[in-house]
Amino acid sequence: HCLQGVRYAVEEINAKGGLLGRKVELLEFDNHSTAIQSKLAARQAVAAGVLAVVGASWSDHSLAMAPVLQAAGIPMVSPDSTNPKLTRLGDNIFRVCFTDDFQGQAMAALARQEFQAKTAVMLVSITTAYSLSLSKAFRAEFETLGGTILAELEYDHESKDFSEVIAKAKALDPDALFVPGYDESGFIVKQAQAAGLRAVQLGGDAWNGRDFFANGGQELKKGYFSANWFRDLDFPENRRFVEAYQKVYEVTEFAALSYDAFSVLANAITRAGAPDRTLIRDALAATKAFPGVAGPITFDAHGDCDKPVLILEITNGKIGVFKAVTP
């Protein structure tokens, strides 16, 4: 979905004549969905002499890429890597999504204030930077607000059977179950529901994907998660994007954020006025209220995008907007 979003944005720009009077050439480097290969892909991009990079998606992959691109002075814009450490790796690193710190705080506040949850259990994939940083942020805010984390139960994200950790969670009988995982979260929420956990089920922005629902999320009677984007967002840019994009590809949050990542980069290249990495980096850093599909993009001093967190509600497998939380 991320790749399709970027391809679409590049085709759209090239149909209008490209950037600085030249067509954009999109080079695609496969990171094989591992951190090691992501680092190698970044080196390939450096060797190819690219002007800038859009990617990666998973935080682990972006954290591996960023030092390589920073050292080479190549601007990098991640669509959806939320790990707080990413943009602290250098002044060439940007993202168009919110951070785990912010979405973790938003979900903890939801649990305590909206659902009056006094206790929570977290199910954490200890091998993914995303799950670790999101659970850390949730714990800090939940405890600050007077809640108690009964346990942080670890699991292997490549598993499909989570009965062991779910049995442990059920025995603790928490008010809230926080599952900050990727696609495997679909298996977890389905199995937790089947096991009879009474806890309100909560997750992060990675729940906003087709694979989460295919893995079991579509069977969830009720759940809540944080998101950067929703197809019904009433921005003119989003309405235009959804209408046009759905004729070609499936519209997803990851496509929307990737489209935004390339669009804000293209805007910076145009403002830079020359195919110069330093000028492009400076133009990116100076971005203010760029009209993105997922909302206005303004980069702070770290290259982070201060934007609201959408809280989406799942009811019998269908998504709707519950509320928006601003920074």
Whole-number pLDDT of residue 325: 87
How far, in whole angstroms, is CA 29 from its chain's centroid?
20
How do residues 101-118 score in pLDDT, each as one tens digit? 999 999 999 999 999 999
CB 112 within 8 A of CB 174: no
Whole-number pLDDT of residue 289: 95
- List residues bridging with 54 in a β-sheet: 77
Token couple for 149: 């984390």
Residues 6+ away with beta carbon under 8 Å from 25: none
Q: State how far the Cα of 299 lies from the Cα of 96, in Å rounded to an integer.
A: 8
How do residues 230-273 score in pLDDT, each as one tens digit? 999 888 999 999 999 999 999 999 999 999 999 999 999 999 99
Helix boundaries (H) for the chain: 2-15, 35-47, 59-72, 100-109, 129-144, 163-172, 185-194, 210-214, 236-245, 253-272, 277-285
CB 189 within 8 A of CB 201: yes
Per residue of the chain (327 residues), give pLDDT as tens. Answer: 899 999 999 999 999 999 999 999 999 999 999 999 999 999 999 999 999 999 999 999 999 999 999 999 999 999 999 999 999 999 999 999 999 999 999 999 999 999 999 999 999 999 999 999 999 999 999 999 999 999 999 999 899 999 999 999 999 999 999 999 999 999 999 999 999 999 999 999 999 989 999 999 999 999 999 999 999 988 899 999 999 999 999 999 999 999 999 999 999 999 999 999 999 999 999 999 999 999 999 999 999 998 889 999 999 999 999 999 887
Q: State how far the Cα of 313 lies from the Cα of 152, in Å rounded to an integer.
A: 24
Cis peptide before 214 (omega within 30 of 0): no
Whole-number pLDDT of residue 307: 85
Whole-number pLDDT of residue 120: 98
Q: State how far the Cα of 206 lies from the Cα of 82, in Å rounded to an integer.
A: 10
Whole-number pLDDT of residue 228: 95
pLDDT averaged over every residue in the chain? 96
Amino acid (one-letter) located at 30? D
CB 189 within 8 A of CB 217: yes
Whole-number pLDDT of residue 12: 97
